[in-house]
Chain A
Amino acid sequence: MIQLTGIAASDGIAIAKAYRLVQPDLTVSQKVISDVEAEQKRVDDALAQSIEELTGIQQLTREKLGEEEAAIFGAHLLVANDPELVGAMKQKIAEAMVNAEYALTEVVKSFVALFESMDNEYMRERAADIKDVSNRILAHLLGVHIPNPSNIQEQVIVVADDLTPSETAQLNRDFVLGFTTNIGGRTSHSAIMARSLEIPAVVGTGTATTTIQDGDIVIVDGLTGNVLVNPDEEVVAAYRQKATEFAAQQEEWAKLLNEKTLSSDGTQVELVANIGSPNDLDGVLRHGGEGVGLYRTEFLYMGRDNLPTEDEQFIAYKTVLEGMDGKPVVIRTLDIGGDKHLPYLPLPEEMNPFLGHRAIRLCLDRQDIFRTQLRALLRASNYGNLKIMFPMIATLQEFRSAKAILLEEKANLLAAGEAVSETIEIGIMVEIPSTAVMADTFAKEVDFFSIGTNDLIQYTMAADRMNEKVSYLYQPYNPAILRLVKMVIDASHKEGKWTGMCGEMAGDEHAVPLLLGLGLDEFSMSATSILKTRSLIKRLSKVDMQALATEALQLATADEVLEKVKQIVK
């Protein structure tokens, strides 16, 4: 048995056969051939196989995820069926007497070069589609297998270097019991997706793909971050037991589904969920969410080739507000830029994208985009309890400008006879240290704060959260972070406002006691963490946690704080 250790990214225990989602070696060498017809026939065969495969994937994706997600495979099919592509390959084989593999790579190279040279980012990205299709055809020519997660038909643990959001979305929950990756952390896309799919995951193991072979029996322990490869029967039995206990605990938590969130001494807080689309609502309600603390609207803008219209956005926002049936819904305006790009909105390359032209900075600059979103939000406001939140606010002036635009659009809508709610709260994300430090001034003008800890930690510690080498600086328990959090909470309470938190820290079992002690009003987290957190808070006394927090603020290091929390909260 081999044991790997990574980061526990999503709770639960899974035991199954390994399925490696690893790209095969597609190296091609040039060979001289003599039988042109036979070589051309290989092209036809490989194309036919690729088309059949793509048709299957397209169909499955359409059934499971919908027409929009399946569209990409429709585009791939068009390329695979392209008469000019097959014509050029056959011509190359006949003229140069080369093998089909080499002919394919040469032909594709010229198409890719053509698309990559275009002055339109959208077209440049199509080059990636062509390469994708070409790799599929090439794999058939070489007789190797390109893994396809949507085609998995038995229970497996997926083993990969990393999983992209689109790969993760293709994983079928009936068959994919868990996954483990080489890279990533608790806040990487793959980890966040695992929690929303509710499958156990361990990320950042470093060597999962080199250690684990297809068909190995793998245990993924998403509670501890351990991955066991080919364990003996005793170990499997022990883990089955652990899985049973975990299931029993979840049943216990389920009893808290419709309860309020109260500390043992009666202080009430709100546990709400982070969502990325109206599809996530079901999970929020199933896990007892008391509202939505963060609706990341950028997903509405991603995976398409033009901006969403005002009506498309209106429908999405209305669906969420109605679905939550009067419970609070905090919708964050577009947070694009940084590491999140839109193919149809070309942004210049930046040296420091996380410190660059993103989120509210971009929206204040591109008011056409911003105003469309604000109008859609305002029009949806009468369908529920809407709160609007601006991301990446660094100065009061930015907040004032954003709010002025919002009020302008509201006045326009009212003048046009549209109904707009009069009780929309307007708040900001606190993720930039300057804003945390100035929270007392902000608190006079905003209706609420929501602390985005992933970015607040990154900016406070000056540590890129995408860079593995400095991941040790991602320290939610660092007293520096706790002091900033305290400043924000205190400032809001002084003005009779409230503070929420929508970073990963809000659902972290060791951070929750501290945050309760610091007086946080609203905790926004992955829906799957809500019941566990409610159960935890039920066992904590607010008074005791205040004492713990006061002590923690005076400690010197993150480790000391964590140690202290573990001592007090068992």
Chain B
Amino acid sequence: MKTQQFTVVDPQGIHARPASQLVAAATPFASTIELHTAGKVANLKSILNVMALALKQGSSFTLQVDGADEAQAFEAVTKLIVEAGLAK
């Protein structure tokens, strides 16, 4: 299992467009990919889950990837988060 903590830096938070990008990035992988924040858990392959977290600028979350292809999945998702300027 791989985990990393992030803080949202995008002033608009994780709104619809980045949420869609995250789901699209996570979906091809077999691993379980989750975001944990303030006692809530979202399946990163579920747009409804991710948007329901309503992550705002400044809120922190933990990315947790677990499964056979966790290394690749972790890399793909963290790369997107950082490159799109969503969180750091």
Residues of A within 8 A of B (CB): 74-75, 78-79, 81-85, 111, 114-115, 118, 120, 122-123, 126, 130, 305-306
Contact = CB atoms under 8 A, between A and B. Distances in A.
B16 A82 contact: no
Given A83-B43, A84-B43, A111 B48 contact: yes
B52 interface: yes
A83 B30 CA distance: 13
Contacts of A115: 51-52
A79 B47 contact: yes
A131 to B, nearest CB: 12
B20 A123 contact: no
8 contacts: A82-B45, A82-B47, A82-B49, A84-B43, A85-B46, A111-B48, A123-B15, A306-B12
B71 interface: no
A74 B17 CA distance: 10
Interface of B is mostly: helix
B27 to A, nearest CB: 8
Interface in B41-68: 43, 45-49, 51-52, 54
B52 A75 contact: no
Most chain A beta carbons < 10 A, residue from B17, B20, B46, B48: B48
Contacts of B46: 82-85
B20 A126 contact: no
Given A75-B20, A78-B47, A85-B46, A118 B54 contact: yes
A126 B51 contact: yes
Most chain A beta carbons < 10 A, residue from B15, B17, B51: B51
A118 B15 CA distance: 12
Given A78-B23, A83-B43, A84-B43, A122 B48 contact: no
Contact of A305 (B16, B23, B47, B51): B16
Given A75-B20, A84-B43, A130 B48 contact: yes
Contacts of B16: 75, 122, 126, 305
B45 A120 contact: no
A130 B77 CA distance: 25
A420 B15 CA distance: 37
Contacts of A122: 15-16
A223 B35 CA distance: 59
B51 A123 contact: yes
Given A83-B46, A115-B51, A123-B51, 4 more contacts: A74-B20, A75-B16, A85-B48, A305-B16
B37 to A, nearest CB: 15
A79 B48 contact: yes
A485 B51 CA distance: 51
A120 B43 contact: no
5 A-B pairs with the lowest CB-CB distances in the bound complex, closest first: A84-B46, A78-B47, A82-B46, A82-B48, A84-B49
Given A78-B47, A84-B43, A115-B51, A305 B15 contact: yes
Contacts of A305: 15-17
Nearest to A74: B20
Contacts of B17: 305
A123 B48 contact: no
Contact of A111 (B15, B45, B52): B52
A120 B54 contact: yes
B45 A83 contact: yes
